[in-house]
Amino acid sequence: MVQQYQSPVRVYKHPFELVMAAYMRRFPKCPLIPVFVDSEIISQSQSDDGSTVVTKRRCTIDVEAPRLLKRIAGVEYLYFIQKNTLNYRDRTLHIEVHNETFSSRVFVRECCSYTVHPDNEDWTCFEQTASLDIKSFFGFESSAEKIATKVYASNIKKGKEIIEYYLRELEEEGVTCIPRWTPPADSRGVTTSLQLPSASTARGIPVNSINDGLSVAGPSELVAGSPDDKLDADYIRRYLGDLTPLQESCLIRLRQWLQETHKGKIPKDQHVLRFLKARDFNMDKAKDFLCQSLTWRKQHQV
> What is the pLDDT, as a whole number, of residue 185?
75
Residues 163 and 227 in one domain: no
Q: Which of 1, 4, 3 is nearest to 256 (CA)?
A: 4
> What is the pLDDT, as a whole number, of residue 224?
42
* Domain enclosing residue 79, as ranges: 3-172
Residue 275: which CATH number?
A: 1.10.8.20
> What is the pLDDT, as a whole number, of residue 210?
38
> What is the pLDDT, as a whole number, of residue 228?
52
Note whether residue 97 is domain-resident. yes
Cβ density class 134-168: b for 16+ within 10 Å, e for less: beebeebeeebbebbeeebeebbebbbebbeebbe
Note whether residue 43 is domain-resident. yes
> What is the pLDDT, as a whole number, of residue 249?
86
Note whether residue 183 is domain-resident. no
Note whether residue 193 is domain-resident. no
Handedness of CA 212, 213, 214, 217 (dihedral sign): positive
> What is the pLDDT, as a whole number, of residue 190?
43
Residue 83: which CATH number?
A: 3.30.530.20
Residues 217 and 163 in one domain: no
Residues 16 and 145 in one domain: yes
Number of domains in the chain: 2
Q: Cα–Cα distance between 35 and 30 in angstroms, integer?
A: 9
Residues 144 and 271 in one domain: no
* Cα 105–chain centre separation: 25
The CA–CA distances, whole Å, from 150 to 155, 191, 198, 245 equal 9, 50, 35, 11
Residues 214 and 165 in one domain: no
> Concatenated DSSP letters for 81-145?
EEEEEEETTTTEEEEEEEE-TTTTTEEEEEEEEEEE-SS-TTSEEEEEEEEEEE--STT-HHHHH
Residues of the chain with pLDDT under 50: 187-201, 205-227
**pTM of the complete model:** 0.73
> What is the pLDDT, as a whole number, of residue 229?
66
The CA–CA distances, whole Å, from 219 to 167, 187, 203, 261 equal 34, 53, 10, 20
> What is the pLDDT, as a whole number, of residue 93?
98
How confident is the model over 200-228, as pLDDT tens digits?
445 554 444 434 333 333 443 444 444 45
Residues 119 and 30 in one domain: yes
